[in-house]
Structures are given as structure tokens and as C-alpha cells.
Amino acid sequence: MTQQEFLSKVNPARDKMYRLALRLLVSKEAAEDATQEVMLKLWGRKQNIKEYANVEAYAMTVTKNYCLDQLKLKYNNNLRIVHQNYESDTISLQKEMEVKDELSWVERILKELPEQQQVIFQLRDVEQYEFEEIAEVVGMELTAIRVALSRARKKIREGLKKKHDYGVKRS
């Protein structure tokens, strides 16, 4: 496989690989490093890439596994999951603060979720993957993915409701 063939197959997934790495590793530098390392790993396995029907799913799986390995290393213990995709100059300062506050609460709730639910939530609700693609990446049955996603969404919803209802008496 030539370099051009490799790039034509893998480059379309590079942005998604970076976003997944950023979701899992938080740091932009760590996500860039992870994406670069995964690209090198994929280049090393370039002859095997032809065998995969969905190269993007394979690349995402390698990225997920690499990031999870990095999180397990001792020198990366300070990394945590963060989601800061929303930036806009056209909104008011008040609205921007509300959005940042809401995202920080979602981040806190996401940290409490099991790792598997975090990855499934990222792939489905942020990356907009289909369930079949998620099944390829995480190696789970479709039913289990739907259950995990439902539980993750429910936990986030309950956490936000609890935050918004704090101090409000119900009769």
C-alpha cells in the first residue's frame, strides 16, 4: 500500500480520531500526540488495513484503545474527561456563562459514569455514529449498546435535574 492510498483511506477519520482522543484525554496536546501515535500504528499495519470493511471503525477502535491505555499509565493520572466543544462569539456573556456552567455539570456527571458508557455516549451523541458502527468499535451487542447509552443519558438527565432542583421545595 502506498502512502497516498493509506492517506486516502485513513485521513477522513483523522478528525474523529482527534475528537475521541480529546474526549478521553482532555488535553489538546495529549489528544494530538495520541492521534499522531495512532496514525503511526496504522501506518505500521498498512498491509492489514485492506482487510477491514470499515477502516474508520478500525481507526476509532485503535484510537479508543490507545487512549484508554494512556489513561491507565501512572503519569497520566491527572487526565479526566472534559467536553468543551461549544464556543461562539455571537452569544451574550450571560448565555455563554450558563452554557459553560451546564457543560461543567455534564462533565462532572460524565466522570461518574463507567468508562464504557462514556465511550458509547461520545460515539453516539457527540460523533453521531450509528449503532452498528459503535458495535464494531466497542465490540458489544447492539442491545447492550442501547442499554448503556440509555443509562448514561438517564444518569446525565437525573444529575442535571438534581442540580436545577437544588433548594426548591416540592409539595
- Tell me the average pLDDT across 56-63: 91
pLDDT value at residue 10? 87
Q: Where are the domains of the chain?
A: 3-76, 93-164
* Annotation: CATH topology of 93-164: Arc Repressor Mutant, subunit A (1.10.10)
SS3 29: helix
Least confident segment among 39-53, 76-90, 104-118, 132-146: 76-90
pLDDT of residue 32: 93
Q: Distance between CA 85 and CA 68 in Å, rounded?
A: 21
CATH architecture of 3-76: Orthogonal Bundle (1.10)
How does pLDDT run across 3-29, given as a tens digit for each residue? 888 888 888 889 999 999 988 888 889
SS3 65: helix
Number of Cβ within 10 Å of residue 127's Cβ equals 17
pTM (predicted TM-score): 0.50
CB 119 within 8 A of CB 91: no
